[in-house]
Amino acid sequence: MFLTRFRINTARREGRELLGSPHRMHAAVAMSFPDLPSRDGDGPRVLWRVDRNSSAEVLLFLVSPGRPDLTHLVEQAGWPASQTAGWQTYDYSPFLGRLTEGSTWAFRLTANPVHAIRRKEGEPTKRTAHITPRHQAAWLLAKQESAGFAVVETPADKRVLQHGDEHQLVVRDQRALRFAKASEQRTVTLTTVTYDGLLRVTDPAALRRTLTQGLGKAKAYGCGLMTLAPVG
């Protein structure tokens, strides 16, 4: 497995166009591999996420079974003349192998929190986005056990709110995306949010699957990739 980071040049029109269309970004990511791994089954897959740290620092992260070649992205949405502003790819497998039960990590995840609803009796269920931070947080907390982690709880004496402050978790940057999928002549709509917080590893094998297979829906459109960092 490999973890890759690429900084997008937001001053370039091509960079802004990529950021404005998850469908275009998905295509650009797919072009980084001569042979994309199958999305069927339970094996590792290509995941990506865009982190908008500031207007001038926008980073694309990739997790993939194979090493990517982002030359086309540098030429299209990077700094082609720079000797240092390319991309960085790291061997992810040693880190994944060192995950241990009980260890604590800071995490970030961009996801598409949805649930199935039925408006009328007898109608088929319809996938609908959670749109409030409370329900979006509950979506992640409902998945944590099977995903191999537990979001760290805030001690009762350090909580500043009566509700919604029970876990060390922030839900932010909600985006309602609408973009064309030309290959099927249809419009895709989805809601994404970013989660930042602290987690404790409860099942290292399950967490490795989460980190390499993604969490939730819309993985082709920049959702599902969770990354970890040392606390502090």
From first to last of the 232 residues of the chain, give the pLDDT tens digit: 999 999 999 999 999 999 988 999 999 999 999 887 666 667 899 999 999 998 889 999 999 999 999 999 999 999 988 877 789 999 999 999 999 999 999 999 999 999 877 666 766 777 788 889 999 999 999 999 999 999 999 887 677 666 667 889 999 999 888 877 766 667 878 899 999 999 999 999 999 999 999 999 999 999 999 999 999 7
For residues 143-156, one letter each, b for 16 or more C-beta atoms within 10 angstroms of the residue's C-beta and e for the rest, the string is ebeebbbbbbebee
Q: Which CATH architecture has domain 99-230?
A: 2-Layer Sandwich (3.30)
In the 8-state DSSP scheme, what is residue 44?
A: -
Contact in structure between 38 and 71 (CB atoms under 8 Å): no
- Classify 2-93 by CATH class: alpha beta
Domain boundaries, the chain: 2-93, 99-230
User: pTM of the prediction?
Assistant: 0.89
Q: Tokens 């959702």, residue?
A: 223
Length of the chain: 232
C-alpha to C-alpha distance for 230 and 113, rounded to whole angstroms: 26
Asked if 2-93 and 99-230 have one fold, the answer is yes
List all residues 6 or more positions away from 122 whose beta carbon is below 8 Å from its beta carbon: none
